Amino acid sequence: MTDRFDSFAALSAKMKPDVDYRIRAEDRGSAVILLAPHGGTVEPETSLIAEAIAGRDYSYYLFEALKAGAHGDFHITSHRFDEPQALELVANAQVAVAIHGRKDDGTETVWLGGRAEALRDAIGAALREAGFEAALNTTLPGVHETNICNRTRSGEGVQLELPRSLRRMLAEDAALLEAFCLAVRRAL
């Protein structure tokens, strides 16, 4: 996959807010922020999942493409994701958890990545305890220092890659979504 834009400045020079994309965010002053930097039509359901995990107490940031298109049309690779509001919110948090989507591979496994290894492992254990599959992400490990999830005060974050089929199930089954969110929140 090739991204059409290598920065938010390049994207915003060609795309219109609230027409082509929107940003939804709430700074609740929490030490944790939930992110969906590829929401909307880019990686469907990631915004829904991030916002649900955030609940009423964690800060969140959602970048959502509003128009259909190729995956790369609105996708800015995580280590280049530099939208100013996201950078500010993440910089004020101790840790970030980014929700991403990936293609189906025949499993429902959540791939766990990021530089916050203890939290990453705790989220994995909590998800497995709740009946979800979770494994270390060797393909998209999310450890680059400029990855949006790692631009926190601590320099650490967690990246969760969910297959399309799991995201769809979570969006369609409120009880399953609640179980997923509670597992992640227990680890937080």
On whether residue 39 sits in a domain, the answer given is yes
Q: What is the pLDDT of residues 139-171, one digit of tens each?
A: 889 999 999 999 999 999 999 999 999 999 999
On whether residue 3 sits in a domain, the answer given is no
Q: What is the mean pLDDT of the chain?
A: 95
Does the pLDDT at position 187 exceed 90?
yes
Residue 1 pLDDT class (50, 70, 90 cuts): low
> Which pLDDT does position 72 carry in this prediction?
67
On whether residue 55 sits in a domain, the answer given is yes
> Which pLDDT does position 3 carry in this prediction?
85
> Which pLDDT does position 137 carry in this prediction?
94
CATH number of residue 68's parent domain? 3.40.630.100
Q: What is the pLDDT of residues 50-106, one digit of tens each?
A: 999 999 999 999 999 998 876 668 999 999 999 999 999 999 999 999 999 999 999
Measured distance CA(89)–CA(122) in Å, rounded: 23
Residue 127 pLDDT class (50, 70, 90 cuts): very high
How would you label 28-47 residue by residue, b for 16+ Cβ within 10 Å and e otherwise? eebebbbbbbbbbbbbbbbb
Rounding to the nearest 10 degrees, give the CA dihedral for residues 39, 73, 162, 48.
Answer: 10
Q: Which domain holds residue 27?
A: 8-187
Q: What are phi and psi for residue 164, nearest 5 degrees?
A: -55, -45
> Which pLDDT does position 71 carry in this prediction?
64
On whether residue 1 sits in a domain, the answer given is no
State whether residue 163 is helix, strand or coil. Answer: strand
> Which pLDDT does position 140 carry in this prediction?
85
> Which pLDDT does position 69 carry in this prediction?
73
Nearest alpha-carbon partner for 80 in 7, 129, 135, 14 = 7
> Which pLDDT does position 108 carry in this prediction?
96
On whether residue 2 sits in a domain, the answer given is no
User: How many domains does the structure of the chain reveal?
Assistant: 1
On whether residue 146 sits in a domain, the answer given is yes
pTM given for the model: 0.96
Q: What is the pLDDT of residues 168-186, one digit of tens each?
A: 999 999 999 999 999 999 9
On whether residue 34 sits in a domain, the answer given is yes
